[in-house]
């Protein structure tokens, strides 16, 4: 067994682990940083659905680059860490004994499957959506050769998978327990816009029903359909369980780390565990909402990357006074050619919690004048506290620029900007690139809220 010594050991090489490694090396260039990960080829997690359709078409086109880490002298071992002793500051793989000063768990998440559906994982034609190239390739090979597919789950992964499969010529049925797709991330009026596009592409959607079991023929364990709780049977040759993810924390649990809400590793705002030489970042750690301060199930690469930067810069002392204050749940997706983005708290979530809020929305064009070729309708909705005007949420529907516009709203939420500050915000506009300066949608949505507060 080879003995290795390093200053920083990072277990896992996904978005959180990769960013943590690069940030650590940037801040502490003299330190030896070692990443141990199981996958030789790292996929871009959010792009996995596009492997199954015409957008990418192959997992070979969905590979995350490790060039930056290699240039910086970050070392990588492809192996599975089987044991961690935090007191002795030692970890073992099947072929290595690694001694470290600082340890970072970045073990990510694994697909969540409800207990009632776990027996179906043994069926031929039933797949989850793991971040594993070999398993994704296996699923794609099978799905390429069938016609009728059921997607269980109405979140981003499920809807993106459904759209890609439909574009590649499959018959697709999406099944979910909620009334609308993407529910929880968007308010109903926004979710319904996404749903209309889904249906317009001839993807079937069965709402407010759940899959109770996967059916086969006389014990063959080859998928022939799914049984719903309502009693309905939906024929299928393949079933994709896009029912979310859970923290991958078995190794951390065996190492004696304290697990917080939803099974994630407990960390403070600098991503430290109770042992300040041991950190955790990404989907494997417990999270809370930036606004609500309550435990959150949100799992996003953007949140993971932010946590990785915080931990990587704080390993040997605080570089920043501001720690990581929680996830703002900032999302973007495409349904057809329309982008949908959200950040912070939705109106429905805020009202359910009893918050005294005011909402404002504005619909305009993303170019000026709107007759410019390629112009797209743009909808912006903001949620703000009534008495302070602080912005706590926002949603956008529109063209490709939606993905960057939501980042503006994300910064507004994190910096606790008010609608009054937004109304005096100066923006760069150009006819071919943006909405008009006289009707910039984020500013106009803030103005709508101010008007409601004034007239209350």
Give ∠ CA 344-346-352 in degrees, rounded to 5: 120
Distances in Å between the alpha carbon of 346 and those of 158, 384, 430, 443? 21, 10, 30, 18
Report pLDDT digits (tens) over 387-404. Answer: 999 999 999 999 999 999
CB atoms within 10 A of CB 135: 15
Per-residue pLDDT, 374? 86
CB atoms within 10 A of CB 376: 17
Per-residue pLDDT, 58? 94
Q: Residue range 333-345: average pLDDT?
A: 97
Q: Is 80 exceeded by the pLDDT of residue 323?
A: no
pLDDT bracket for residue 351 (50, 70, 90): very high
CB atoms within 10 A of CB 205: 18
Per-residue pLDDT, 319? 78
Q: Is the four-CA dihedral 311, 317, 319, 324 of positive or negative sign?
A: positive
Report pLDDT digits (tens) over 113-124. Answer: 999 999 999 999
Per-residue pLDDT, 217? 87
Q: Is 80 exceeded by the pLDDT of residue 320?
A: no
Element spanning 211, H or E: strand 211-216
Per-residue pLDDT, 67? 80
Per-residue pLDDT, 193? 97
Which of helix, strand or coil describes residue 412?
helix
Say which residues have a Cβ less than 8 Å from residue 133's Cβ, sequence separation at least 6. 39, 41, 43, 59
The domains located in the chain, with CATH, are: 2-38+79-109+246-314 (3.50.50.60), 113-243 (3.50.50.60), 337-455 (3.30.390.30)
Per-residue pLDDT, 321? 62
DSSP 99: E
Hey, what are 81's tokens? 């860490």
Report pLDDT digits (tens) over 238-277. Answer: 999 999 999 999 999 999 999 999 999 999 999 999 999 9
**Percent of the chain residues topping a pLDDT of 90:** 92
Per-residue pLDDT, 310? 95
In whole angstroms, what is the distance from residue 188 CA to residue 209 CA? 18
Q: What is the pTM of this model?
A: 0.94
Per-residue pLDDT, 210? 96
Per-residue pLDDT, 66? 82
Say which residues have a Cβ less than 8 Å from residue 246's Cβ, sequence separation at least 6. 109, 110, 111, 112, 262, 263
In whole angstroms, what is the distance from residue 236 CA to residue 238 CA? 5
Chain-wide mean pLDDT for the chain? 95
């Amino acid at each position: 067994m080879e003995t290795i010594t390093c200053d920083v050991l990072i277990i896992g090489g996904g978005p959180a682990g990769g960013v943590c490694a690069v940030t650590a090396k940037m801040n502490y260039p003299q330190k030896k940083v070692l990443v141990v990960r199981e996958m030789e080829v790292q996929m871009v997690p959010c792009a996995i659905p596009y492997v199954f359709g015409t957008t990418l078409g192959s997992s070979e086109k969905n590979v995350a680059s490790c060039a930056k880490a290699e240039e910086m002298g970050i070392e990588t071992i492809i192996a599975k860490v089987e044991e961690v002793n935090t007191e002795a500051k030692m970890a073992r793989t099947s072929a290595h004994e690694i001694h470290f000063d600082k340890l970072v768990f970045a073990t990510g998440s694994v697909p969540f499957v409800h207990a009632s559906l776990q027996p179906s994982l043994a069926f031929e034609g039933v797949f989850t959506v793991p971040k594993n190239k070999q398993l994704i390739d296996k699923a794609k090979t099978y799905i390429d050769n069938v016609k009728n597919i059921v997607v269980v789950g109405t979140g981003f992964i499920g809807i993106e998978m459904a759209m890609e499969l439909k574009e590649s010529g499959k018959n697709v049925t999406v099944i979910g327990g909620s009334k609308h797709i993407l529910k929880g991330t968007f308010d109903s009026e926004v979710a319904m816009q996404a749903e209309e596009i889904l249906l317009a592409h001839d993807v079937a959607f069965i709402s407010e029903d759940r899959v109770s079991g996967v059916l086969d023929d006389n014990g063959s364990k080859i998928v022939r359909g799914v049984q719903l709780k309502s009693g309905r049977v939906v024929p299928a040759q393949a079933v994709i369980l896009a029912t979310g993810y859970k923290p991958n924390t078995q190794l951390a649990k065996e190492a004696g780390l304290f697990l917080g809400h939803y099974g994630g590793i407990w960390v403070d705002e600098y991503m430290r565990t109770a042992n300040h030489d041991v950190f955790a970042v990404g989907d494997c750690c417990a999270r809370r909402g930036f606004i609500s301060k309550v435990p959150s199930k949100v799992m996003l690469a953007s949140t993971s990357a932010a946590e990785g930067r915080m931990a990587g810069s704080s390993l040997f002392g605080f570089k920043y006074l501001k720690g990581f204050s929680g996830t703002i749940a900032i999302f973007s997706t495409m349904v057809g050619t329309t982008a949908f983005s959200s950040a912070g708290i939705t109106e429905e979530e805020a009202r359910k919690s009893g918050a005294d809020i005011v909402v404002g929305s504005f619909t305009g064009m993303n170019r000026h004048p709107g007759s410019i070729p390629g112009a797209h309708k743009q909808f912006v909705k903001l949620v703000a506290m009534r008495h302070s005007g602080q912005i706590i949420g926002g949603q956008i529907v529109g063209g490709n620029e939606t993905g960057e516009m939501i980042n503006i709203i994300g910064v507004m939420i994190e910096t606790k900007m008010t609608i009054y500050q937004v109304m005096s915000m100066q923006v760069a506009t150009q006819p071919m690139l943006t909405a008009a300066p006289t009707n910039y949608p984020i500013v106009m949505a803030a103005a709508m809220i101010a008007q409601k507060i004034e007239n209350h």
